Amino acid sequence: MYYHHPKDPWLAVNLSMFFPGMGQFYAGNYLQGFFFFNGQILLLVLTIWHIFAAKGNTITGFICLGIATIFYFISLIEAHFTVYKYRNDATLEKIPRQQKNLWFAIFFTRLLPGLGHLYLQKPMTGLFLLTLYLISWVINNFSALFLFINPLICAASIYHLSLIFTRRRTARLRLLIIIITGITFTFGVMVNYYPQWLEKRFDKFIIPSQSMEPTLQVNDLVFVKKSANYVPKIGQIVVFTPSENIKKVDPDPSDYYIKRIIATPGNEIEIKQGQVYLNETALQEPYIAESPQYTLKSMIIPPNRYLVLGDNRNDSFDSHVWGLLPKEVIVGQAYKIGWPPQRIQSIMP
């Protein structure tokens, strides 16, 4: 069965699956470990910044993500061969077939629970775990409450594999199995719940009309930053759901709208002679398509209400039609055009 060696190529692979460089550190190749570990951190930071930051370039972000993915797989291969060459054992198989290897079985299990058991010629257990995993994967599509089940199945499968290898299971090996099992479960839960966490903070919105031209064009993909504590400021562009006033004017409202904040609570607003006046001072608006050809009587914006207008002033379904916008329907701040490539830019005021 399995015989424990000081260094095992497939243990190095399993460690690097958690994060590039870990397998190299285990192998004692600290220079390469430092290179892969810090290189991957740099690529991930660049990916996140370019995709989500207002001034980042979305294309550059996806290029960095692609490089990071390639970098990840290279680190796995390199971790394996680092230990394999270090062992310098002519009887050692690159892919263990004759002599079953626990770490290779665990590697397969982390790819898909059940595969490691099939590799160890435990077909009934392997098919059971594989079926259970696929069923739980389907259940995940219906409710986020069960996103922890897949990582749990994977972790349990890894631990069960270790029980199959009964020979020479030292205390050190048992501890290592427990650590890898725990980290596998933790990482799995983090990866599964990360999209849920991200969705609560960021959203995407495709521009459906010409109401925000020239700032936003039809079919622009806009990134929206969401926060329960968000307080809109003058000049910012916000996405919101239809308020009761909108529903009264339009019996078939859109799911979302996007406009610019022109006046916030406590400010006086007036529109006359093609000019917006904020606190009796003409508001400088270089972003509009043309001057408004309508008037709005002077008013003080009440608490938790906002006056919003489209940049295409005379072709926009906005506050001059349906009134003030309640704060509670605001989804978040639109801060960046993320697509198409030629339109990528910040739309922060």
- Per-residue pLDDT reduced to its tens digit, 259-292: 999 999 999 999 999 999 999 999 999 999 899 9
Q: Is residue 1 part of a domain?
A: no
Give the active site residue among 75, 122, 136, 259: 259
Q: Is residue 235 part of a domain?
A: yes
The pLDDT-based confidence of 110 (bands split at 50, 70, 90) is very high
Report the alpha-carbon distance of residue 57 to residue 50 in Å, rounded: 5
> Is 211 tagged catalytic?
yes
Q: Is the domain of 192 the same as that of 219?
A: no
CATH number of residue 277's parent domain: 2.10.109.10
Cβ proximity of 49 and 115 under 8 Å: no
Which of the listed residues 199, 215, 242 is the one where a domain comes to its end? 199
Label residues 125-139 b or e (16+ Cβ within 10 Å = b).
Answer: bbeebbebbeebeee
Task: Tell which wins on pLDDT, 122 or 88.
Answer: 122
Report the alpha-carbon distance of residue 58 to residue 15 in Å, rounded: 31
Cβ proximity of 331 and 302 under 8 Å: no
Q: Is residue 51 part of a domain?
A: yes
Which of the listed residues 134, 167, 199 is the one where a domain comes to its end? 199
Q: Is the domain of 40 the same as that of 75?
A: yes
Give the active site residue among 136, 157, 211, 316: 211
> Is 259 tagged catalytic?
yes
Range name among 124-133, 170-179, 202-211, 315-324 with the lowest pLDDT average: 170-179
Label residues 81-99 b or e (16+ Cβ within 10 Å = b).
Answer: ebbbeebeeeeeeeebeee
Reported residue count of the chain is 349
Q: Is residue 4 part of a domain?
A: no
Report the alpha-carbon distance of residue 132 to residue 113 in Å, rounded: 9
Q: Is the domain of 182 the same as that of 210?
A: no
Q: Is the domain of 206 the same as that of 186?
A: no
What's the whole-model pTM score?
0.85
Number of domains into which the chain is organized:
2
pLDDT at position 196:
86
Task: Please say if the pLDDT value at position 155 is more than 80.
Answer: yes
List all residues 6 or more positions away from 213 whose beta carbon is below 8 Å from its beta carbon.
Answer: 289, 311, 312
Q: Is the domain of 129 the same as that of 229?
A: no
pLDDT at position 4:
43
Report the alpha-carbon distance of residue 63 to residue 173 in Å, rounded: 40
Peptide bond just before 340 cis, omega within 30 deg = yes
What value does the mean pLDDT of the chain take?
Answer: 91
Q: Is the domain of 158 the same as that of 186?
A: yes
Domain range spanning residue 210?
202-346
pLDDT at position 3:
39
